[in-house]
Structure 1
Amino acid sequence: MNRRGVGMTSSATRDLVWFSEVQWDFLSTRKQRLLQRFSPRWRILFVEPYALGRSAHWLPVTRGNVTVVTVPFLKTVPYRIGRLLDVALLRNAVASAGELILRFWLRRLGFASRERIVGLSNVYWGRVAARMPCALRFYDANDDHLAFPGSPSWLPGYQSRYLERCGLLFSVSPELTARLPLPSTVRCIELGNGVEYDHFATPLPDAPPELAAFAAEGGPLLGYAGAMDWVDTELLRETAAACPHCRIALLGPAYDRTWRERNRALLELPNVHWFGKVDYPELPAWVQRFDLALMPLLCDPLKRASHPNKLYEYAAAGVPVLAIDYCSALGAARGVIHIAGSAGEFVAMVPEALRDTRRAERQAFASEHSWDALALRMEEELLRASEREAG
């Protein structure tokens, strides 16, 4: 791939500090897919949160050209204790401790230069990131971060403070961009989600044993791959009840530790099985076995503004896709997937979707949305913006 672009003739190394709301190794997301494709001229520090019960990188580790380090901060305080953070004095004390750890690693790892670029997708770091001397600040709006359950009342101020100091915004959807309190000086780039096409399109001959055993019970295999927290579980229950001859496989983690207990009625159905998190390298072997890939996502404000990369992963695998109409990004795929306008229509469309033979068309659609192209555009936009700021 030709990586030349604006500013690419210079041999100068560029430093990027990214404040992330998800851990690098826990779940493969848009951030990892983009950053790991940046050219070697970039030195990237990925500041991830701490999460109870998950592995942390208290000492930095490298992931290609990315250095990953865990810094506990406001977002990582447990919810019940976190209510104490509504008291500004306590919140500032906790934030100061996290900032001291951050400053240590910035200096230790060589990311303290005023020429660095600062990127933010973890709004809790907003006030700190807004104060950091840098050549450019940008915000990656991959979700409506203020719409998550339990978001504190003081968090919008952290987001606004950061956006006031931004020069560039990357957003996954126009709906999400419209929700942000953006100054007129911020340049907005709609940069959706994508796919590692070859990763999902290359046929894998062997099915995972656990999935093969479940599928062997008989009937078409319906599957969902993604975070469980965003699934419309009532819609899944209706689908499972209306299609008792089908197997429904659920792949992915649940961020909410009470999710299993709250959805016991779904998981106890004889034709439904939750396999938990599947590591990204193994995911194509599972998805390629679906007779029908499902997108039964909640139709709420949070998901309305999203841009699902699972759409492109399913399409790259070639399998038929059935989605509830929960976000505008699905519109571009109407020619190759099935989109239901209601729960009743979703259930009724299962037989038709199972008969879909447009494999080549789906894969051609997916190939147009590669992470390589998106990463190159982000890289070039960052270089252009930083050069404008310097000029």
Structure 2
Amino acid sequence: MPSPLPHQAADTLDVSLIVHSHLRWDFVWQRPQQILSRLSQRGHVLFVEEPVYLDDLATPRLDVSLPLPRVHRAVPMLPGHLRGSYDESIGIIRDLIRRQIAADGPLGDLFERPVQWFYTPMPAPAMIGAFNERGVVYDCMDELSKFRFAPTELVDRERYLVAESDVVFTGGYRLSKAKSRIHHNVHFFGCGVDVDHFARARSEDLPLAPELVGIGKKVMGYFGVIDERLDYDLLRVLAARHHDAELVMVGPVVKVDPAELPQAPNIRWLGQRQYAELPSYVKGFDVCLMPFALNEATEYINPTKTLEYMAAGKPIVSTAVSDVVHNFTPVVAVADSRDDFVNAVRYALVSPDVSMIARGIEQARANTWESIVARMDRIVREALRVREERPAVVAGERAPRRADRPVRGNRSLAGAADEMGD
């Protein structure tokens, strides 16, 4: 559970959110879950995922569960014949949500005047204006149009979403510069960290993950999503050049063929592990890796794992991802070439820079999710105040003209990104 947010007066504990996400709640625990689990302390959250299509289902439904207090996970279950018809699907999902949050619906009055919060632009034209929302927030994690299999209509829908948003947050510094050119109220909030959670890796009381017990070698480790953003040739070279060390990769494999992953006696692909287990893995890492390829998919990323590695008290080696260079160079060894990366890993294994590790721990302490979410919350509340003070004719026009706007396109972002994450 997240730590409590700074104290707020009673009248501020009233902002409910309807969240539209391309990532599933039970996938990798990352930015959306970190932020929303904390915002749920100040209001209810309806977390709407991409639909699941079932060939034997006749009637659409919305499966709602409660993974955390005041976090309502909503999974649209749709008949299989709607697969490939995104416009029709999203209209059905909108109506399912309406019935769910109606005064006589299962969630009653919990979402009477919500804020709509988007992680994906794809449903925005159908959803904005449909729920008498108090405001619209776009939390832009990545430049989604750069990802493999991104829908062609994503760029136009993001442009629409940005235009309709009261606030745009970005997860990357370069991303904030790009969005600032098309919106007046853009704020960069990079990755935060649950310091207490990952600091457990520095405790003698925490047992090692069972796969790391008795290895008898130095460990070069990575945790996170394993997808097209990683440099697999670099990993192959790293394992070959450090044959006396073990390369341990922890995370789900998506959008790449597992059969094509580098294989060697000293490479272990462990698959996905729960967020709660990660400290026991990083405890066994002698050096933490961020082996990202430099391509369109990584141009705007700001890896959450950077601060998590820091909080764990580990040396870190990264390729020259722009946001890592901009935000973390004093505490991360940034390599400009594969040879530099291999050599930086060797140095970290043999002679880790204790002062750099100490600076990393301090930087992690200064960037908790609690402090980030508290600042985001203040910005949203100010944007809502400004919106409420607009002339009534302007505010009144906005909602009804959007609610039943048709959507075009046949592919969901989840189908494109297939659960991308950090």
Q: Which amino acid aligns with 2:170?
A: S
Q: Between the two proteins, what is the percent identity of the paired residues? A: 23
Equivalent position amino acid for 1:174 in 2: Y
CA contact (8 A) 1:171 1:192 kept: yes
Contact 1:129 1:162 in 2 (8 A): no
The alignment partner of 2:248 has SS state of strand
TM score, norm. by length of structure 2: 0.81
Stretches of structure 1 that go unaligned for 5 or more consecutive residues are: none
Aligned to 2:344: 349
1:66 corresponds to? 71
Q: Deviations over 1:232-282 (max 9, x none)?
A: 1111001001110010000011222x531222xx1x300000110010011
* Residue 298 (structure 2) pairs with residue 297 (structure 1): no
Distance in 1 separating the partners of 2:279 and 2:86: 43
Amino acid at match of 1:156: V
User: Residue 39 of structure 1: CA displacement?
Assistant: 6.1
Are residue 3 (structure 1) and residue 6 (structure 2) matched?
A: yes
- 1:159 aligns with 158
Q: Which amino acid aligns with 1:365?
A: Q
Q: How does 1:259-278 map to 2 (within 5 A)?
A: 259-263=257-261, 266=262, 268-278=263-273
- 1-side partners of 2:253 and 2:159: how far apart? 29
Out of 380, 383, 396, the residue aligned to residue 382 of structure 1 is: 380
From 275, 278, 288, the equivalent of 1:283 is 278
Matched residues in 2 for 1:155 and 1:111: separation? 33
Structure 1 residues 169-208: aligned runs within 5 Å: 169-180=168-179, 183-184=182-183, 186-202=184-200, 203=203, 204-208=205-209
Determine the C-alpha separation between the residues in 1 that align with 2:237 and 2:334. 17
Unmatched 5+ stretches in structure 2: 55-60, 390-422
Change (3 A) 1:52 1:288: farther
CA contact (8 A) 1:114 1:135 kept: no
| 1:169, distance to aligned residue in structure 2 (A) | 0.5
Aligned-partner SS, 1:349: helix
Contact kept? 2:315, 2:332, Cα under 8 Å: yes
User: Superposition pairs for residues 85-96 of structure 1, below 5 Å?
Assistant: 85=84, 90-96=85-91
Aligned pair count reads 369
Listed as ranges, the matches of 1:218-257 within 5 Å are 218-229=216-227, 230-256=229-255
Query: Contact (CA 8 Å) 1:137, 1:167: kept in 2 or not?
Result: yes
Is 1:171–1:177's contact at 8 Å kept on the other side of the alignment?
A: yes
| 1:52–1:340 CA distance, 2 compared to 1 (3 A) | farther
CA offsets, 1:142-180, max 9 Å, x none?
A: 111111111122222221222221110001223213444
- Deviation of 1:360 after TM superposition, in Å, equals 2.4
**Does the 8 A contact of 1:12 with 1:41 survive in 2?**
yes
Say if 2:193 and 2:308, in contact at 8 Å, map to a contact too: yes
Deviation string for 1:342-390 (max 9, x for gaps)?
Answer: 1121112222122112332221121111101011111111111111111
Corresponding residue for residue 370 of structure 2: 372
Partner SS, residue 124 of structure 1: coil
CA shift for structure 1 position 330: 3.6
Residue in structure 1 matched with residue 96 of structure 2 by the alignment? 101
Q: TM-score, normalised by structure 1?
A: 0.87
**Contact residue 40 and residue 71 of structure 2 kept, 8 A:** no
One-letter identity of the residue aligned with 2:68: R
Q: Distance in 2 between matches of 1:164 and 1:323?
A: 35
Go from structure 1 to structure 2 and tell me whether the alpha carbon gap of 1:143 and 1:72 turns closer, same or farther (over 3 Å shift).
farther
- What's the counterpart of residue 40 of structure 1? 41
RMSD over aligned Cα atoms: 2.7
Distance 1:114 1:321 in 2: 46
**How far apart in 1 are the matches of 2:112 and 2:217?**
60
Matched with 1:122 is 120
Aligned to 2:326: 331
Q: Equivalents in 2 of 1:340, 1:246: separation in Å?
A: 19
Moved more, 114-123 or 291-300: 114-123
Q: What is the Cα deviation at residue 101 of structure 1?
A: 2.5
Q: Aligned AA for 2:195?
A: Y
Q: Would the aligned equivalents of 1:49 and 1:72 in 2 still touch at CA under 8 Å?
A: no
Residue 102 of structure 1, CA deviation:
2.7
In the aligned structure 2, how far is the partner of 1:34 from the partner of 1:329? 21
Measured at CA, do residues 304 and 247 of structure 1 come closer, stay the same or move farther in structure 2, by a change above 3 Å? same
Could you tell me how far apart the structure 2 residues matched to 1:290 and 1:324 are? Answer: 18
